Structure 1
Amino acid sequence: MGVPKKFFAIFGVAAGILLYLANSAEYKLPTAENRFSGYPADATPYTAAVVYLVSVMPGTRNPDQLLQSIPRMEKNIPWRYRWPIVLLHAGMYDAVDNQLDFLSRLRDSANAQNLAPEATEDLLRRVEFVATHHELPEGIPADGVVDGPIWNGEWPAYHHMCAFFSYKIFNHPRIRDLTYYLRLDDDSYVREPACFDPFEYMHVNNKSYAFRDSPPDMGWVTEGMWPFVSNYAQRHPEVERTLERNGFEWPPNRLWPQRFGEGVNFPSYETNFDLVKVPRFRTPQMTEFLHELASDPKRFYWYRWGDAPVRFAEVNMFLDVAKEVHRMCEIPYAHKDRPFEDCECVPLSG
Structure 2
Amino acid sequence: MSFSKRYTAISIVAAAALVLYLAQWAGYNSLAPQRYLAPAPPYTAAIIYLVSVLPGPRSPDELLNSLPLMQANIPWRHQWPVLLLHAGAYDTPESQRDFLTRLRESAESQNLTLDATAKLLDRIEFVPTHHELPDGIPADGVADHPVWDGEWPAYHHMCAFFSYKIFEHPRIKDLTYYLRLDDDSTVRAPACLDPFEYVHAHNLSYAYRRQSPDMGWVTDGMWPFVSNYAKRHPAVESRLRSNSWEWPAQRHWPNHFGEGQNFPSYETNFDLVKVPRFRTPEMTAFLEELASEPRRFYWHRWGDAPVRLAEVFMFLDVEKEVHQMCEVPYAHKGNPFDDCECVPLLD
Q: TM-score of the superposition, structure 1-length normalised?
A: 0.88
The yes-or-no answer on 1:250 pairing with 2:260 is: no
Other-structure match for 1:189: 186
Among 43, 59, 65, the alignment partner of 2:56 is: 59
The yes-or-no answer on 1:345 pairing with 2:342 is: yes
Q: Which amino acid aligns with 1:69?
A: S
Residue 41 of structure 1 deviates from its aligned partner by: 10
| Offset from partner CA, 1:201-222 (integer Å, 9 cap, x none) | 0000000000000000000000
Query: Equivalents in 1 of 2:206, 2:143: separation in Å?
Result: 37
Residue 42 of structure 1 deviates from its aligned partner by: 7.3
Q: Which amino acid aligns with 1:303?
A: H
Among 209, 227, 232, the alignment partner of 1:230 is: 227
Query: Equivalents in 2 of 1:119, 1:148: separation in Å?
Result: 48
Query: Equivalents in 2 of 1:68, 1:158: separation in Å?
Result: 22
Other-structure match for 1:20: none
In the alignment, structure 1 segments of 5+ residues that lack a partner are 1-38
The yes-or-no answer on 1:109 pairing with 2:106 is: yes
Other-structure match for 1:167: 164
Other-structure match for 1:217: 214
Range with greater deviation from structure 2 (40-49 or 247-256):
40-49
Q: Which amino acid aligns with 2:307?
A: V
Query: Equivalents in 2 of 1:324, 1:129: separation in Å?
Result: 31
Among 143, 152, 163, the alignment partner of 2:149 is: 152
The runs of at least 4 consecutive aligned structure 1 residues that moved more than 2 Å come to 39-42, 145-148
Does the aligned pair in 1 maintain the 2:142–2:152 contact within 8 Å? no
Other-structure match for 1:80: 77
Q: TM-score of the superposition, structure 2-length normalised?
A: 0.89
Among 111, 117, 120, the alignment partner of 1:120 is: 117
Query: Could you say what the CA RMSD is over the residues aligned between the two structures, in angstroms?
Result: 1.2
The yes-or-no answer on 1:264 pairing with 2:264 is: no
Residue 337 of structure 1 deviates from its aligned partner by: 1.6
Residue 145 of structure 1 deviates from its aligned partner by: 2.5
Query: Equivalents in 2 of 1:183, 1:259: separation in Å?
Result: 34
Query: Equivalents in 2 of 1:41, 1:143: separation in Å?
Result: 55
Residue 60 of structure 1 deviates from its aligned partner by: 1.6
| Matched residue SS, 1:50 | strand
Does the aligned pair in 2 maintain the 1:41–1:47 contact within 8 Å? no
Among 279, 283, 286, the alignment partner of 2:283 is: 286
| Offset from partner CA, 1:98-143 (integer Å, 9 cap, x none) | 0000001101111111111011112111100000010011111112
Asked which structure has the greater CA Rg, the reply is 2
Query: Equivalents in 2 of 1:43, 1:239: separation in Å?
Result: 36
Residue 146 of structure 1 deviates from its aligned partner by: 4.1
| Matched residue SS, 1:43 | coil
The 5 A counterparts of 1:28-47 are 43-47=40-44
Residue 147 of structure 1 deviates from its aligned partner by: 3.6
| Matched residue SS, 2:72 | helix
The yes-or-no answer on 1:297 pairing with 2:272 is: no
| Matched residue SS, 2:54 | coil
Q: CA separation of 1:99/1:41 partners in 2, compared to 1, >3 Å: closer, same or farther? A: farther
| Matched residue SS, 1:134 | coil
Does the aligned pair in 2 maintain the 1:51–1:184 contact within 8 Å? yes
The yes-or-no answer on 1:132 pairing with 2:129 is: yes
Query: Equivalents in 2 of 1:149, 1:98: separation in Å?
Result: 35
| Matched residue SS, 2:59 | coil
Among 122, 142, 148, the alignment partner of 2:139 is: 142
Does the aligned pair in 1 maintain the 2:52–2:58 contact within 8 Å? yes
In the alignment, structure 2 segments of 5+ residues that lack a partner are 1-35
| Matched residue SS, 1:275 | strand
Alignment: residue pair count: 312
